[in-house]
């Protein structure tokens, strides 16, 4: 089972960016956590991060025929990107959306997610554990 894990803008600055919201663990820590969880579940993951909307759309499109599901933290593009929503809908793979922080308790503009319009599951406020839960959800969705 192959899962594409996508992280959007500014997640590469984890540990530096707003540590009171996102914590002090780094992006490398997050990637290591995802890989460890995937290994434990017998999943193959590819990790991709970009600060550029078009690069995220391109990577989503390239998932078609190459991956079984997508775990995505679109970060700030959550609230603005119809292009990412359209790409996810176009490839038609199971999608789990994840956010480190509790977006429902943040600024009003962060409380709407375009991606949630196509995601089968949305997890937020669980920190790194949200990615593990998202991988479990995708595994369960894809298992016969």
Please state, as a whole number, how many other Cβ atoms lie within 10 Å of the Cβ of residue 48: 19
Q: What does the domain layout of the chain look like in residue ranges?
A: 2-142
Which value, to the nearest 10 degrees, does the dihedral of the CA atoms of residues 115, 7, 63, 142 take? -70
pLDDT of residue 105: 75
**Which residues are identified as catalytic?**
22, 99
Burial readout 13-34 (b: 16 or more C-beta within 10 A, e: otherwise):
ebeeeeeeebbebebeebbebb
Distance CA 27, CA 13 (A): 7
Residue 24 main-chain phi, psi, to 5 deg: -105, -5
Helices (H), the chain: 19-22, 27-41, 53-62, 82-91, 129-142
Residue 7, pLDDT score: 98
pLDDT of 112 reads: 86
Model pLDDT, residue 131 = 98
Instruction: Note the pLDDT of residue 24.
Output: 84
Per the structure block, which two tokens stand in for 54?
């078009």
Specify the pTM.
Answer: 0.93
Mean pLDDT, 10 residues at a time, over the chain (144 residues)? 97 89 90 98 98 98 98 95 98 97 81 93 96 98 92
| pLDDT in the model for residue 54 | 98
Q: What is the CATH number of domain 2-142?
A: 3.40.50.9100
Q: What is the pLDDT of residue 22?
A: 79
Q: CA-CA distance, 50 to 10, in Å (whole number)?
A: 8
């Amino acid at each position: 089972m192959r899962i594409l894990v996508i992280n959007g803008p500014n997640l590469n600055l984890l540990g530096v960016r707003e540590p009171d919201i996102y914590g002090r663990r780094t992006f490398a820590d997050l990637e290591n956590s995802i890989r460890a969880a995937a290994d434990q579940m017998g999943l193959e993951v590819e990790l991709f991060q970009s600060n550029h909307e078009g690069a995220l759309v391109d990577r989503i499109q390239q998932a078609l025929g190459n991956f079984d599901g997508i775990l995505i933290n679109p970060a700030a593009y959550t609230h603005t990107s119809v292009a990412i929503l359209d790409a996810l809908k176009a490839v038609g793979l199971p999608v789990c959306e994840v956010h480190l922080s509790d977006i429902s308790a943040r600024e009003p503009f962060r409380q709407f997610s375009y991606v949630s319009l196509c995601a089968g599951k949305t997890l937020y406020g669980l920190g790194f554990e949200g990615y593990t839960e998202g991988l479990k959800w995708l595994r369960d969705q894809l298992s016969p």
